[in-house]
Structure 1
Amino acid sequence: MSDSKDSSLLGIKDIVFMNVIAILSLRQIPNVAPYGASAMVLWLLAAFCLFFPLAMVCGELSTGWPKDGGIFVWVKEAFGKRVGWIVVVCFLFSCVLFFPLMLQFGFTAIGYMFSAELAQNQVFIGVGSMVVFWILTLMNIKGMKWTKIINSVSAWLGVFIPAGIIVLLAIVWLMTGHPMATDYSHVSDWIPDLSSWDTIVFLSSMMFAFAGLEVAPMIAGRTRDPQRDFPKAMAVSAIVIVGIYMIGTWAINTLLPAADTDIVAGVMQAMEAAAKELHMPWLLPVMAICLFFGALGQINSWLVGPIYMLQEASKEDNLLGERIGRLHPVYQTPAFALVIQAIIVTVLCFSTFVSPSIAAAYWMLTALTTICYFIPYLVMFIAYYRLRITQPDVPRSFKIPGKVLPIVLPGLGFLSTLFAVILVFIPPAQIDMGGYVEYIAKIVGGAVLAIVLAEWIYHRAQKRNRLQQQ
């Protein structure tokens, strides 16, 4: 194998970068910061309930079936290609809903560099989102080499550097004699009130901050040594992600009182407080640029993985026809599928122009994304049990150790995911979502649409293949 070919394959560092940028987002920290010192315990509980089981299950399955496709391959091996295909469509459905949300978040941050009005300008956000997504699509069509570059740059500019700035500012704040804005000194401050329904609901929502470990296994066939590299990368990713979430929460609590932290603008609030007190006016634009690149990095990680999963899935009975699954003649990437995805995202970006309530539209897209995204999770945890029973002899360089943990951990992950999905059916009190029946109909309708579309494509392909064989 030539060196040039080696350079296009992913190693441990590349997998860690992909995991970090796909999962870790600084926008999640302000959601937790209002809980003060008890947020440290909540982070650990959320990690234990979902992140740890997810890392263990993905680690074992990705080394047992180290092929492009990730969840599709695992579910197909357990339940057949029809169920695997439904999982793929649900996953892709969630992604095309997720992309406009992250693009809006990134462009809102950039808009605040200039004025609050620009940050609320629907034309600026909508057109900018479309242009940037097409640029990312065209770059990824050129192959995994560009994907690695984008992920690496975004991981540093969008996660490591801004997280480092926040932590460093907190240290400077304390060293210059400023008191910690949030009290961490009493034991009672560290104990979350798990008897409160609001806290339990919040803990469930925190689990979403850890979702995404299944992205890298979708392109496992493009890694140097998946059996060796994936378990190590999963372990490193877990330590880095949980660590940055916890340290970042402490840093924001140091700069800003927990009670005053806005769940959306908390990072920029902390930066503004530090910029004024420490006489560093350049902090706000620097952080805005970092948050923008962080959003781009998350989009890029999710942009590539699911498409390779779609490509792998479409090979089964030629489900999408030859054109969708065809690779670019030069770059050997699923260019046509990437372009189709970009067109769909472009249409969704136009929704910023016609939505009567941005908050209501944002939450509805978030709820639909959650439902469609976690249906594959629920199936994946069940598939793990089935593969342990039906294919126990498949070589796995990593297996969940012991006799109890392989039973308990996937079950804990399944129940945590199911509970989080159920909570989506409770509309937020602070946002007018219309009638409850209408709200439920939209959420259920979105999930049903994804499943019906998958079934239609599957049966259409089966019928086409039978006619071709006659």
Structure 2
Amino acid sequence: MKPQKSLITVSQMSIMTIITIAGLRGLPAMAVMGWQSIILYLLPAVVFFVPTALVSAELGATYEGGVYQWVKEGLGERFGLIAIWMQWIHNVVWYPAQLAFVAAAAASAVGLDRLADSGIYITAVIIIVFWWAVWLTMRGGNLFAKVASVAGLIGTIIPACLLLVLGAAWLITGQRISPTLSHSSAIPDFADFAGFALIVQNVLAFAGMEVNAVHAQQMDHPKRYTRVVGVAFVGALAIFIVPTLILAMVLPTDVNLSDGTVIAFQTMFDTFHIGFMGNIVAFAIVFGAIASIISWISEPSRGLLDAAEDGCLPVYFRRTNANGAQSGILVLMGIIVTILSMLYVIFPSAVSMVFSLLIGMAVALYVMMYVLMFLAAINLRRLRKTGVVGYRAPGLYVMSCIGIMACVCAFVMTFVPAAGQTGIPTSLYPVITGLVVAALAIPSVVLYRIARRQNS
């Protein structure tokens, strides 16, 4: 007897999608741009976020299974495997870095900042939290959705709303406006390479709209997935722009970008004589980061399971537990993340930089996944397999072409070292990036061939 499915509500799916895309951690990097941050967010939203949202809505309304099924139907199962592998492997190298942030933020919240420099502590937190998230996902049903949506509400949406209230109070009470905002122009200098780089960087900030589409058929009303896309689009854009301007209004020009959000909260709490709230919000932001981990674990691994069941991956990848969860893939992810986390013990001073570089390079694979998704959408519309019933994206061909161009720009930029990058010589950076991209992509080809031998 199959376990009874617990259905995911529209509100749960909307919150999961918002926290998959938006977060408070990276806002200080844009806050230093002041008023320019509005355009630096809106341009990527128009050329990437809007196309991704519209195309995801049409594909999700027609096919269950997320990116793998979409690309498989549009371009064939081999390209479907390549697409889901690109999404999955990018996330695998991202998990340790995100969980290291969780560990450091948790230590700061309890006043034990020195723990953030302990490789043993960082590794322990990564292993414990990630395996807990794996266990949660393996429980099946909508338990992971409930936990992710509640944690996302506590750690992302509520702090963003609180930041809005504090920002309004800051203005009403006539507090000092930081030069970061008051002395900034509204129009970025597009002749400056740094301005163009920030726009491309923000293309990636809006990535993730497609992630939870794999669960559309687990919703109590699957046809309402298009509502999820609309709510997530508005919610994510609001969380990016409004809190960024508030941070720019409060933070000094020389703020430490790694903990700028917490500093801004603490500054406003101290001003209004409620400083004790700082630690509470710091813990809430930790919950938000954990929620993003939970949201990102399920879909790519579920997509890999679909590919395995189609015979595109070796037999091991087809393993499921009594709850129907992709146990083989989840355990493999846990093992890989555990091994990667050990680097924080072996190389405590350099590993953060290494992961940062690795994630930046792996982004090249992720944006090419979007290219495949847009190409699949064009082909499916041409064959009249989507957009006939249910949601029909307006201007899909134009939107897809714009999205592809944005992705190609982002792909090229991954081969250009970021400003201030010191870990790799500038002349070698494109070569090493190419080698990393190849090393992360090649296993999908090897595993596909092994699977074909097993199936023959």
TM exceeding 0.5? yes
Aligned to 2:113: 116
Give unpaired runs (5+ residues) of structure 2: none
Moved more, 431-440 or 265-274: 431-440
- What is the rounded CA distance, in whole Å, between the counterparts of 1:354 and 1:184 in structure 2? 42
Moved more, 241-250 or 51-60: 241-250
Find 1:29's aligned residue among 8, 27, 30.
Answer: 27
Task: Write the letter of the residue equivalent to 1:423.
Answer: M
Aligned to 2:95: 99
Aligned to 1:267: 261
Alignment of 1:252-291 (within 5 A): 252-257=247-252, 259-291=253-285
2:148 matches 1:155: no
Aligned to 1:45: 43
Alignment of 1:53-452 (within 5 A): 53-65=51-63, 67-68=64-65, 70-113=66-109, 114-182=111-179, 189-226=185-222, 228-257=223-252, 259-317=253-311, 319-321=313-315, 323-329=316-322, 331-355=323-347, 357-392=350-385, 395-401=388-394, 405-436=395-426, 438-452=428-442
Decide whether the 8 Å contact of 2:180 with 2:251 is kept in 1: no
Q: How far 1:18 sits from its partner (Å)?
A: 1.4
* CA offset digits 1:277-302 (Å, max 9, x no partner): 32222132112211211110110001
Decide whether the 8 Å contact of 1:89 with 1:450 is kept in 2: no
Task: Write the letter of the residue equivalent to 1:291.
Answer: I
Task: Write the letter of the residue equivalent to 1:334.
Answer: Q
TM-score, normalised to structure 2, is 0.93
Decide whether the 8 Å contact of 2:304 with 2:317 is kept in 1: no
Does the residue aligned with 1:265 lie in a helix, a strand or coil? helix
* CA offset digits 1:25-83 (Å, max 9, x no partner): 10121121111112122221121111111001111111121x12x11111111221111
Does the residue aligned with 1:189 lie in a helix, a strand or coil? coil
Task: Write the letter of the residue equivalent to 2:128.
Answer: V
Q: How far 1:318 sits from its partner (Å)?
A: 6.1
- What is the rounded CA distance, in whole Å, between the counterparts of 1:59 and 1:229 in structure 2? 10
Moved more, 231-240 or 86-95: 86-95
Identity among equivalent pairs (%): 25
Decide whether the 8 Å contact of 2:380 with 2:386 is kept in 1: no
Decide whether the 8 Å contact of 1:155 with 1:297 is kept in 2: yes
Decide whether the 8 Å contact of 1:36 with 1:253 is kept in 2: yes
- What is the rounded CA distance, in whole Å, between the counterparts of 1:143 and 1:203 in structure 2? 38
Does the residue aligned with 1:35 lie in a helix, a strand or coil? coil
- What is the rounded CA distance, in whole Å, between the counterparts of 1:224 and 1:415 in structure 2? 36
How many residue pairs align between the two structures?
453
* CA offset digits 1:402-450 (Å, max 9, x no partner): xxx2222111111111111211111134232233454334322222123
| CA RMSD, Structure 1 to Structure 2 (Å) | 2.1
Decide whether the 8 Å contact of 1:360 with 1:431 is kept in 2: no
Q: How far 1:361 sits from its partner (Å)?
A: 0.8
CA distance 1:318–1:50, shift in 2 (3 Å) = closer
Q: How far 1:393 sits from its partner (Å)?
A: 6.3
Q: How far 1:142 sits from its partner (Å)?
A: 0.9
Q: How far 1:359 sits from its partner (Å)?
A: 4.6
Task: Write the letter of the residue equivalent to 2:195.
Answer: T
- What is the rounded CA distance, in whole Å, between the counterparts of 1:352 and 1:13 in structure 2? 37
Q: How far 1:102 sits from its partner (Å)?
A: 0.8
CA distance 1:354–1:429, shift in 2 (3 Å) = farther
Q: How far 1:250 sits from its partner (Å)?
A: 2.0
Decide whether the 8 Å contact of 2:21 with 2:209 is kept in 1: yes
CA distance 1:393–1:236, shift in 2 (3 Å) = closer
Does the residue aligned with 2:185 lie in a helix, a strand or coil? helix
Does the residue aligned with 2:446 lie in a helix, a strand or coil? helix
Decide whether the 8 Å contact of 1:108 with 1:119 is kept in 2: yes
Q: How far 1:182 sits from its partner (Å)?
A: 4.6
- What is the rounded CA distance, in whole Å, between the counterparts of 2:67 and 2:312 in structure 1? 19
Does the residue aligned with 1:132 lie in a helix, a strand or coil? helix
Decide whether the 8 Å contact of 2:12 with 2:146 is kept in 1: no
Q: How far 1:150 sits from its partner (Å)?
A: 1.3
Task: Write the letter of the residue equivalent to 2:187.
Answer: I
Q: How far 1:392 sits from its partner (Å)?
A: 4.3
Does the residue aligned with 2:177 lie in a helix, a strand or coil? coil
- What is the rounded CA distance, in whole Å, between the counterparts of 1:214 and 1:250 in structure 2? 27
Q: How far 1:462 sits from its partner (Å)?
A: 1.2
Give unpaired runs (5+ residues) of structure 1: none
Decide whether the 8 Å contact of 2:182 with 2:249 is kept in 1: no
* CA offset digits 1:213-249 (Å, max 9, x no partner): 11111223322332x2111110111111101211111
* CA offset digits 1:293-318 (Å, max 9, x no partner): 11101100011111111111111126
Moved more, 390-399 or 98-107: 390-399
2:440 matches 1:454: no
Decide whether the 8 Å contact of 1:360 with 1:432 is kept in 2: no
